[in-house]
Amino acid sequence: MKQKKQFKPQDLRTLLTVLFFIVLGGGAALFYLGNTFVGDYALEVNRRLADADASGKQIDELQTLKGQLTQSNSLVSKANKIFATPSNYQSYLFNDLKNYAAAAGLTIAKTSFDNPSKTGTYSITIKLEQPVQYNRLIAFLNNIEGNIPKFQVSSIELGPGSGGANTVSTGDIKVDVSVR
């Protein structure tokens, strides 16, 4: 019969030392892996936190812009009035010019609309009843230039008047309108 090998204290000490270093190495490896995992998780949390802050700022900016847009609706409607449309420019021109002439004490004798497809501009040519007082003509032209939608006198024929020192003779007055 064989005799069993006895476990000696030195063998137990060696075994325990090896086990100690294995446990110590395993713990160090687990600590390193855990630390890496926690670090990666912390970076992800920081990134998401930064995204949340940026999203919050964007929401605040969008709400501010929304408030500004609602406050500027009246400005937008005023800006839309600056330009006439191709379908309504004739009524704008005729009615406004007639009113401006009446306000200046003048009367429009004749009107004719230019064909925009030939000239590329939307305009009307008017002739005033003669004689025309100079100060009334200036008031009429100021009214035209200050109008919304934007009108502009592009040409005017002037000559000396026969009704005194303060009168002028006008020929055709061409008025352009801004169209979008």
Domain containing 93 — which CATH number? Answer: 3.30.70.60
Q: Looking at residue 122, what is its pLDDT?
A: 81
**Residue with token string 């002739």:** 127
Same domain, 111 and 65: no
Number of domains in the chain: 2
Q: Alpha-carbon dihedral of residues 101, 102, 106, 109, nearest 10 degrees?
A: 80
Same domain, 93 and 132: yes
pTM confidence score: 0.54
Q: Residue 113: beta bridge partners?
A: 124
Same domain, 102 and 171: yes
76 domain-assigned? no
pLDDT of 151 above 90: no
Same domain, 97 and 167: yes
Same domain, 38 and 106: no
Same domain, 52 and 115: no
- Residues 109, 173: Cα–Cα separation, whole Å: 12
Same domain, 97 and 52: no
Q: Looking at residue 83, what is its pLDDT?
A: 67
Same domain, 150 and 105: yes
145 domain-assigned? yes
Q: Are 114 and 175 in contact (CB under 8 A)?
A: no
pLDDT of 8 above 80: yes
169 domain-assigned? yes
Contacts of 113 (CB under 8 A, 6+ apart): 90, 93, 123, 124, 125
Same domain, 66 and 137: no
pLDDT of 108 above 80: yes
Domain span at residue 109 reads 89-177
Q: What is the mean pLDDT of residues 54-64?
A: 87
Q: What is the mean pLDDT of residues 105-112?
A: 91
Same domain, 105 and 172: yes
Q: Are 167 and 134 in contact (CB under 8 A)?
A: yes
82 domain-assigned? no
128 domain-assigned? yes
Same domain, 168 and 107: yes
77 domain-assigned? no
Same domain, 96 and 67: no
Q: Looking at residue 119, what is its pLDDT?
A: 66
